[in-house]
Structure 1
Amino acid sequence: MKGLWSRTFLFSLAACFGAYATELELVTGDDYAPLTGRNLAGGGMLTEVVLAALERSGTASSLAWQPWKRGYMMTLRGEYDATFPYIRANQREQVFLYSAPLYVSQQHLFSRVEEAVEVNDLTGVSGGRLCLPLGWQLPAAVQALVDQGVLVRHSPRGLNECALLLLLGRDDFFLADLQLGLHALQSTGAAQARFHVSGSVLSRQTMHLIVPRSRPDAAQLIERFDRGLQALRESGDYQRLITSFTAGNLSRRRFTTTAQ
């Protein structure tokens, strides 16, 4: 009788946690340093956060790299289980469930020091050339200025191109998360004193892991991931991981700023 009970208990345990034994197939994109990038340590800051959170939740995972649009569509079709990092967008929320925030992105303006642009200057920069990579979304207030013709948007392939075009004077400023923007400016190889970073934050956006709503277990997958992410935060490892990627950028930040 004892042996039967043990087998029954083990069978029930396996039924409850069977999904945990299945490897979760993730996909993300490249050239988004320091947040994601196949040539970065650990695949980038948010790649490490996601993998560590899954590990804390007892979930095995694998990671693939695809062009951003392709990886997104393959996840939507169910060819991957989840993708990251994505900000909230109305159309996207109709087809994906979002995890708890992986990271709070602070959007700044990056310009040349001799033609410094601050957040409060935007409405007066008539005809200003704004660089933002193809496929990236602008905050609603800035998009309105583009729609009104106050700002002219230019959309190259990536943020490093925006930084180079800024240096060459072909664009006037670009908008990006602080860490992404600092990394892009450093990629030009130019002296940091040539650039200006806005002293005030234009907007804040949260970044998330997303799972297609079409998955029968989508809500359970998100709940499990969120538990792992919370455990990562409570242990202090989340902050140590973030600091390991951002400390270098912040210590080298000698760009001019204007306090607001």
Structure 2
Amino acid sequence: MARLYQIIFVLVSLSLISGAQAKLSQLTAAVGHFPPYIFCDDKPIRGMAVELVETAYQEVGIRVEFKCYPWGRVYNLARESAVDLTFPYLRNQDREQDFHYVAPMLAIKEVFFHLKSRSFSDLMDKEGELTVEDLKPYKIGGTIGYRYGELIDEYDGKYGLSLGKTANLNFKKLIRGRIDLFVESFIVGYYEVSLLEPPFRELITNLPLPISTEKLYLIVSHKHPRRQEISKLFIRGLTMARAKGVKQKLLEKYTLPDTP
């Protein structure tokens, strides 16, 4: 009987080794709804970030299956390597304990949106970074559940952000004059503006000085046995895709402005 167990153990071990060394041909990605980067309501799942990841892996001969879940579940599935990867995430120390940050996919720039009818010359002419005192005269809107960096945290602590449930509601507050400025990422903000009624779209612009600029990453769990291979293939494929101008093509497809 002991001999039989030894044989079974050897066979299982060889099978695992063989499986681990098999060439990757398909991956599974867990994502959440985050337009225009990810549209979970569409079948198949689409969006600028989805198509960028899909194209990058296609360049190296790998198919990606995308599955949508609430973001909390996305994080847990990816952390436990129940799926192969997830995206797009900002880098932070807490998350680095669970995940390997593979490569920056896209830049995300937070800006102030405002009505074109208002000049904000004091902010426009500002040299250097904005301070909370620069923002003191203005009522600023934000979206519930989002953080916008240290400057806006400080403003919120001193003067209080005017919070709305969605970006769409915040843009409506801006149009109605209930807030002076609305802080949102550049690409997401202009996507939301594109959903407004045509007469209102033309009313809105943004201050050129960014509040912050960060990178969005594809990440893989430290627990994943093939994280290094998954990572190297993505970096190689992303480099090839960028050389073909994929990012610009996706911006044009989704009628989005490029992040300066």
Match of 1:254 in 2: none
**How far apart, in 1, do the equivalents of 2:80 and 2:179 lie?**
37
Match of 2:156 in 1: 146
CA contact (8 A) 1:111 1:166 kept: yes
Sequence identity percentage = 21
> Offset at 1:216?
2.5
Match of 1:4 in 2: none
> Offset at 1:210?
1.1
Match of 1:8 in 2: none
In the alignment, structure 1 residue 212 sits paired with structure 2 residue 214: no
Match of 1:99 in 2: 102
> Offset at 1:250?
4.2
> Offset at 1:18?
1.4
Distance 1:218 1:116, change over 3 A: farther
Match of 1:187 in 2: 195
TM-score by length of 1: 0.76
Distance 1:24 1:155, change over 3 A: farther
| Structure 2: tracts of 5 or more residues without a match | 1-17
CA contact (8 A) 2:135 2:155 kept: no
Matches for 1:20-99 after TM superposition, within 5 Å: 20-21=24-25, 23-30=26-33, 32-39=34-41, 43-99=46-102
The 10-residue stretch of structure 1 (78-87 or 109-118) with the greater mean CA deviation from structure 2:
109-118
Superposed CA offset, 1:77-111 (max 9, x none): 33322111111122212211112211112222112
CA contact (8 A) 2:149 2:212 kept: yes
Which has the greater radius of gyration?
A: 2
TM-score by length of 2: 0.76
Superposed CA offset, 1:151-208 (max 9, x none): x224444322322232333433222222211121232325234323112222211111
CA contact (8 A) 2:45 2:66 kept: no
**How far apart, in 1, do the equivalents of 2:94 and 2:248 lie?**
31
Residue type at the aligned position of 1:143: D
Residue type at the aligned position of 1:212: S
**How far apart, in 2, do the equivalents of 1:64 and 1:239 lie?**
25
Residue type at the aligned position of 2:185: D
The 10-residue stretch of structure 1 (33-42 or 133-142) with the greater mean CA deviation from structure 2:
33-42
Superposed CA offset, 1:95-148 (max 9, x none): 11112211112222112344555474753332744333333231223323323x
In the alignment, structure 1 residue 126 sits paired with structure 2 residue 136: yes
Among 146, 152, 155, the alignment partner of 1:136 is 146
**How far apart, in 2, do the equivalents of 1:65 and 1:112 lie?**
35
SS in 2 for 1:57: coil
**How far apart, in 2, do the equivalents of 1:16 and 1:79 lie?**
16
More helix by share: 1
In the alignment, structure 1 residue 174 sits paired with structure 2 residue 182: yes
**How far apart, in 2, do the equivalents of 1:210 and 1:15 lie?**
23
**How far apart, in 2, do the equivalents of 1:155 and 1:72 lie?**
25
**How far apart, in 2, do the equivalents of 1:179 and 1:221 lie?**
28
For the aligned residue pairs, the C-alpha RMSD in angstroms reads 2.9
Superposed CA offset, 1:212-260 (max 9, x none): 1222222322122111111111233343333333xx3449xxxxxxxxx
SS in 1 for 2:104: coil
CA contact (8 A) 1:116 1:196 kept: no
CA contact (8 A) 1:20 1:60 kept: no
Matches for 1:104-115 after TM superposition, within 5 Å: 104-115=107-118
CA contact (8 A) 2:251 2:257 kept: no
In the alignment, structure 1 residue 222 sits paired with structure 2 residue 224: no
